[in-house]
């Protein structure tokens, strides 16, 4: 072990509790510090957890809770220009993709972390960090502080830890899309366990049959940048009017928008993508999850990659003789994979807001692209990734 017995984990979303639970499994005491004053129920919207993410969660015992809370998706289709076609199926022998509310995923991960002995503290917003020969001290905006052997920045795309590691680090880029989610209470012929990715005339959306019978759908709306706080200043009723106008000429987009209530509409805000981050760690600080590798939501891999990285970081700290060597090995295990997936997602995001010429060509080109053998190879490579927890990190 890298001569550490305690870790401060900043951020209580997806990466934070997973990393802390994996550290506890590795014999390292971990505490999660979350800026929100209370658990983040209702923050965010619907997301998909890919098979590799579900498999990774089994390492810390959280897969069962996710399978219980999620809706399995075993078939994916694309609809564009009046045509609908099947996408490449997930590799055989893997668990199904899970469509799940972010709030439910957060709850499952928090409960698993607590069961593993992790302490969670809310209302602790990090403002600065100091290091010495014996460890690292986190200083919070309420005047309190905490000491540990290492500090893990799992604090999302607007990471404070990232800027403490490198003041010149790049920030998250805006994809040009706002995210929304909702539930349509409508009698629509949607096959169970099937997710449809639809390119409407003005905007992209996706939908599937939720476990309670309603149709869940997600929206990627081309828009000038709005943060989550800014987007939520607009009443849901106004956003619904906008969505009904945008999807008025789409089938079934128009019906989904018309059948969604303001109460069920989830405003996600700006969708981000992280450019490559030059420095993943410095001294006793290291980054994990969206703080260092937030791919476009187009990949479907954001949460799954965060989960993988938290577990791999714990393995490295468990097995390697120094903090420096553990952090270097962790980056070596993760950087190529996450940056390759991020690059793929950036290309797909551009297709969600095409120009007039591209929009005319897409119904002809996309069926060929998504049926190409290369797409199957990418799915195989991304989704069969598995972590051998018991193997020693070299």
Q: Let me know: does 20 contact 32? Beta carbons within 8 Å.
A: yes
pLDDT of 370 strictly over 70? no
Q: Pairing relation of β-strands 285-287 and 194-199?
A: unpaired
Strand partners, 174: 272
- Residue range 181-210: mean pLDDT, rounded: 93
The predicted model gives 83-108 an average pLDDT of 90
Euclidean distance between the first and final Cα of the chain, in Å? 12
Is 325:2 a contact under the CB 8 Å cutoff? yes
Give the Cα-Cα-Cα angle 67, 68, 74 (nearest 5 degrees). Answer: 45
Report d(CA 196, CA 83) in Å as an integer. 12
Phi, psi of 103 (to 5 degrees): -60, -40
| Both tokens assigned to 118 | 């992790």
Select the more confidently predicted residue: 208 or 86: 208
- Nearest by Cα to 50 from 73, 69, 22, 68: 73
Strand order in the sheet with 119-122: 119-122, 29-34, 6-10, 150-153, 285-287, 281-282
Residues with Cβ within 8 Å of 285's Cβ and at least 6 positions away in sequence, in order, are 129, 131, 136, 150, 151, 152, 153, 161, 164, 165
DSSP letter at 94 equals: S
Question: Strands 266-273 and 173-184, how do they pair?
Answer: antiparallel
pLDDT for residue 21: 98
* Mean pLDDT on 109-120: 97
Q: Is the pLDDT higher at 235 or at 358?
A: 235
pLDDT single digits (tens) 117-160: 999 999 999 999 999 988 999 999 999 999 999 999 999 999 99
According to the model, what pLDDT value does residue 90 have?
A: 82
Task: Cis check for the bond before 252: say yes or no (omega within 30 of 0).
Answer: yes
What is the structure's pLDDT at 40?
A: 62
DSSP notation for 346-380: HHHHHHTS--HHHHHHHHHHHHHHHTSHHHHHHHH
pLDDT for residue 269 is more than 70: yes
pLDDT band at 375 (very low <50, low <70, confident <90, very high): confident
Q: Helix 302-319 crosses helix 15-25 at what angle (to 10 degrees)?
A: 30
Tell me the average pLDDT of the chain: 91
Q: What is the pLDDT of residue 65?
A: 97
The 3-state DSSP composition of the chain as helix, strand, coil percent (nearest 5) reads 40, 25, 35
Q: pLDDT band at residue 5, thresholds of 50, 70 and 90?
A: very high
Residue closest to 104 by CA, chosen among 26, 181, 47: 47
Residue 44: is its pLDDT beyond 70? no
Whether 205 and 195 have beta carbons less than 8 Å apart is answered as no
Q: Which of 26-35, 207-216, 230-239, 371-380 has the lowest mean pLDDT?
A: 371-380
What's the pLDDT at 359?
Answer: 60
Asked whether residue 372 carries a pLDDT value surpassing 70, the answer given is: no
What is the pLDDT, as a whole number, of residue 127? 98
Q: To 10 degrees, what angle do helices 302-319 and 51-58 make? A: 30
- Measured over the CA atoms of residue 34, residue 39, residue 45 and residue 51, the dihedral's sign is positive
8-state DSSP, 291? G
Alpha-carbon span 394 to 385, nearest angstrom:
18
Q: Which residue has the higher pLDDT, 103 or 140?
A: 140
Residue 41, pLDDT > 60, answer: no
Q: Cα–Cα distance between 224 and 255 in angstroms, integer?
A: 26
Q: What are the residues whose beta carbons fall under 8 Å from the beta carbon of 10, sequence distance 6 or more?
A: 16, 32, 33, 126, 138, 151, 152, 153, 154, 155, 160, 161
Containing 329, the helix (H) or strand (E) segment is: helix 323-351
* Residue 214: pLDDT over 60: yes
Strand ranges (DSSP E) for 254-385? 266-273, 281-282, 285-287
In this predicted structure, the answer to whether residue 12 has a pLDDT above a threshold of 60 is yes
Q: Which two tokens stand for residue 77?
A: 């289709």
Percentage with pLDDT > 70 across the chain? 91
User: For residue range 326-366, what is the model confidence (pLDDT) as tens digits?
Assistant: 999 999 999 999 999 998 877 765 555 566 656 666 666 66
For the segment 368-382, the average pLDDT, to the nearest whole number, is 73
Residue 345: the pLDDT is 79
How much is the pLDDT for 69? 95
Task: Convert the pLDDT of each residue in 302-329 to its tens digit.
Answer: 999 999 999 999 999 999 999 999 999 9
pLDDT confidence of residue 14: 96
């Amino acid at each position: 072990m890298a001569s550490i017995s305690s870790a401060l984990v900043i951020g209580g979303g997806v990466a934070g509790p997973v990393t802390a639970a994996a550290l506890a499994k590795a014999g390292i005491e971990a505490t999660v510090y979350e800026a929100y004053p209370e658990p983040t129920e209702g923050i965010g919207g619907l997301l998909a957890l890919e098979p590799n993410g579900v498999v990774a969660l089994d390492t810390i015992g959280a897969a069962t809770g996710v399978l219980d809370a999620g809706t399995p998706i075993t078939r994916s289709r694309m609809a564009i220009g009046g045509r609908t076609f099947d996408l490449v199926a997930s590799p055989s022998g893997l668990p199904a993709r899970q469509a799940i509310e972010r709030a439910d995923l957060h709850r499952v991960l928090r409960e698993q972390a607590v069961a593993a002995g992790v302490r969670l503290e809310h209302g602790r917003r990090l403002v600065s960090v100091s290091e010495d020969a014996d460890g690292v001290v986190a200083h919070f905006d309420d005047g309190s502080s905490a000491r540990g052997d290492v500090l893990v920045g799992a604090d999302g795309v607007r990471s404070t830890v990232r800027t403490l590691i490198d003041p010149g680090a790049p920030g998250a880029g805006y994809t040009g899309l706002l995210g929304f989610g909702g539930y349509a209470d409508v009698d629509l012929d949607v096959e169970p366990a099937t997710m449809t990715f639809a390119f409407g005339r003005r905007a992209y959306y996706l939908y599937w049959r939720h476990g309670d019978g309603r149709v869940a759908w997600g929206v990627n709306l081309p828009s000038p940048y709005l943060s989550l706080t800014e987007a939520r200043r607009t009443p849901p009723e106004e956003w619904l009017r906008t969505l009904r106008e945008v999807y008025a000429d789409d089938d079934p987009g128009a019906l989904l928008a018309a059948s969604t209530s303001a109460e069920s509409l989830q405003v996600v805000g700006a969708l981000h993508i992280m450019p490559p981050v030059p420095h993943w760690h410095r001294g006793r600080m290291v980054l994990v999850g969206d703080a260092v590798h937030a791919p476009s939501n187009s990949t479907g891999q954001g949460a799954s990659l965060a989960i993988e990285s938290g577990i791999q970081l714990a393995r490295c700290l468990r097995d390697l003789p120094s903090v420096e060597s553990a952090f270097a090995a962790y980056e070596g295990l993760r950087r190529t994979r996450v940056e390759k997936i991020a690059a793929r997602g950036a290309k797909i995001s551009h297709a969600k807001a095409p120009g007039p010429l591209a929009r005319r060509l897409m119904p002809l080109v996309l069926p060929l692209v998504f049926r190409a053998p290369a797409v199957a190879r990418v799915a195989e490579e991304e989704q069969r990734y598995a972590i051998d927890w018991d193997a020693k990190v070299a």
